[in-house]
Each structure stands twice: as structure tokens, then as C-alpha cells.
Amino acid sequence: MGTGTSINHGLDMVFSNTKPADATPEAISGELQDGIAIVGLPFDGGSSYHPGSRFAPNVIREAGRQVFSHPVWPFGFDPKMVQTVVDTGDVLYPYWKPQTFPACVREHVDHWMGSKMRVLAFGGDHSVTVPMIQSFLDCNPGGKLLVLDAHCDVADFDPGDINHGSVLSELLADGALQDTDLIHVGMRTGARSDLPAASHVFSMDEIDQDHCSIERLAAKIKEIAGRAPLYISLDLDVFDPAFAPGVSTYATGGLTSRAGLDLLRGLAGCNLRAMDIVELCPPRDPGGVTASLAAMLGAYFMCISSKHFNQMSRTDER
Ligand SMILES: [Mn+2]
């Protein structure tokens, strides 16, 4: 089973018992650069309703302990054993200057985003995605963005605003993200016309959650994404509150956890470069149900984007 270089130091709070970031990408030489860099984004200054997502990164790390106690179903392997996985820790910022957070994200993330490593980030409220995507697009011009979210996040904004409700309006206004490069899944608030007509929208009422339909949806997304570098921004409120009660803003009528996991698995083979999982609000998460889902989604990303899995799948196809 591969030669993973993950190390359990057993001291720090890290996702998947992996090595804390005592190494920069430059220091991780050769093939080892192909792996996962994990980043925590403990910020909820952009939340409109229920704060608390600043506590999410470590809660997801903790939930990961159980997820990684077995090979990840249905992949049958432990993703930290087949590739380098480095938990780079949390983005730090002076809490009394919340407006500095986006720049602090760039400072922490840019060199990982520009390396061969894939980036897996745990929010934070959805506003943390803005500097993440800007970093991604700077490193991957022509990259595409897949957003899974109940909301379309197109609120009006003034320069310098930090608002989890204006993620897409900011990115589209910035010019780095083209509307044709935006794929949006799970919308069920606002109006379809809130998003640019040229973007690819699969609203919740258009998604049939049986297995074959999710497979077809994944195939459509893969067709749109092609070989372009892909960033997935996963707002946990895309799931129905029955499956993900620990989010800050509820929107009834969302994905089941099964459908969401199947959809993510269906995206194997895309040129996956990064994913964020945002809006987990631990203070309203009974029993850690949503944290557990977030950790599993992270583990899925680590599996489907690994060289190991993609080589295995190619062999199966022969
Ligand atoms: Mn949302």
C-alpha cells in the first residue's frame, strides 16, 4: 500500500494525524510535492446570522480522528498513507483587525497554492473563500470554480467588505473569475437570475438525488470542467439541515449526505486542485454530526484527488 510520508507527531491538533507544517513546499522535494496541504481558516467575521464557525477547523480535525481510524469507504485505502499530507495549521491574524484576514490568508496559502500540492481548507464562514479563490486563480489562470451552496452569495458590496453573502459577486466583479467558469450546485434561495446567465447552475429542484441522477450530474460537471484546474467550494448548508444541522444559515430542502458524498466521488478524474469546506458552526452542531460529515468530505477529497486512486481507477478501466 504505497509509501505515505505522513507522520503522527501525536502532539498537535492536525487533520488525519498528519505532519504539522514544519516544511515549506520548497523543502518537500521531488515526488513528495504531490500531496495535500491542509489549511484552517478560523474566521467568522463575515457571518450574517449565527457566528461560531471560527471554531470549526479544530473541530473538523478532531472529527477526522474517527474518520481516519479505518480505510475510507468505499475507496478501501487510507489517503494519508498514499501521499504526503501536511497540516499547515491555521491562518493567524490580529483578531482586532478583521479586515486584515484576507491578506493573511494570501500570505499563508499562496505558496501552497502555487506548489504541486492540492489544498484542502476548513473554514470559517464562506467569506474566507474569496482570498482562497483569488490565490487559486492567480496560480491557475483559466481555472474553474464549483460551488456547492444553498445560497448564491451575490449580495451588493463595497470594496473591503467582508461578508459571507457576497462571495460570488466579489469574485465576479474582480474579473479573475469569468461567469462561464462558474458551476453552482444546490441553489434554493433567491432567484436563478441572481447568477450570471452564462454560469452553469444546477439548482436544488433540478437535482434528483437517486444514485444514477447524481452520477449524471457529476458527469455533466466533469464535462464543463474538462481538464481545467478545479476548485470546489463546499458550503455545508448545501446539505439539508436534517443531515447538516451545524451550519450558521439553514435552508430546508437540501442534499442528503449520501448524495453529496456520491457527487464528490463522481468528480474523481477532474483536475482537482483545491477544496474548501465552510460554514460549520460547532456551537449549533448536536453530537458533532455536521463535523463528522465535514471530516468525511475532506477524506473523500484526499482520496479522489490522489495519484494512487486515479492510477487504480485507470487500471480498473482496462
Ligand atoms: Mn450558504
Ligand 1 geometric centre to CA of 313 (Å):
33
Ligand 1 geometric centre to CA of 311 (Å):
34
Ligand 1 geometric centre to CA of 213 (Å):
23
Buried b (16+ CB within 10 A) or exposed e, 120-137: bbbbbbbbbbbbbbbbbb
Ligand 1 geometric centre to CA of 251 (Å):
8
Ligand 1 geometric centre to CA of 116 (Å):
29
CB 124, CB 57: distance < 8 Å: yes
Give DSSP secondary structure letters for 215-284: HHHHHHHHHHHTTSEEEEEEEGGGB-TTT---BSS--SS-B-HHHHHHHHHHTTTSEEEEEEEE-B-GGG
Q: Which residues are annotated as a binding site?
A: 126, 149, 151, 153, 235, 237
Half-sphere exposure of 278 (CA within 13 A, CB side): 30
pLDDT of residue 49: 87
Ligand 1 geometric centre to CA of 314 (Å):
35
Ligand 1 geometric centre to CA of 168 (Å):
11
The pLDDT tens digits of the residues spanning 130-189 come to 999 999 999 999 999 999 999 999 999 999 999 999 999 999 998 989 999 999 999 999
Q: Residues 61-86: what's their mean pLDDT?
A: 92
Q: Above 80 in pLDDT, residue 19?
A: no
The pLDDT tens digits of the residues spanning 260-269 come to 999 999 999 9
Ligand 1 geometric centre to CA of 271 (Å):
24
Measure Cα distances from 120 to 233, 242, 256 in Å.
10, 25, 22
Confidence of residue 212 (pLDDT cuts 50, 70, 90): confident
Ligand 1 geometric centre to CA of 164 (Å):
8
pTM: 0.92
Q: Which residues are annotated as a binding site for Mn(2+)?
A: 126, 149, 151, 153, 235, 237
Q: Where are the domains of the chain?
A: 15-317
In 8-117, at which residue ranges do the beta strands (DSSP E only) sit? 19-20, 35-40, 84-90
In the chain, at which residue ranges do the beta strands (DSSP E only) sit? 19-20, 35-40, 84-90, 118-122, 144-148, 182-185, 200-202, 229-235, 271-278
CB 295, CB 57: distance < 8 Å: no
Fold held by 15-317: Arginase; Chain A (3.40.800)
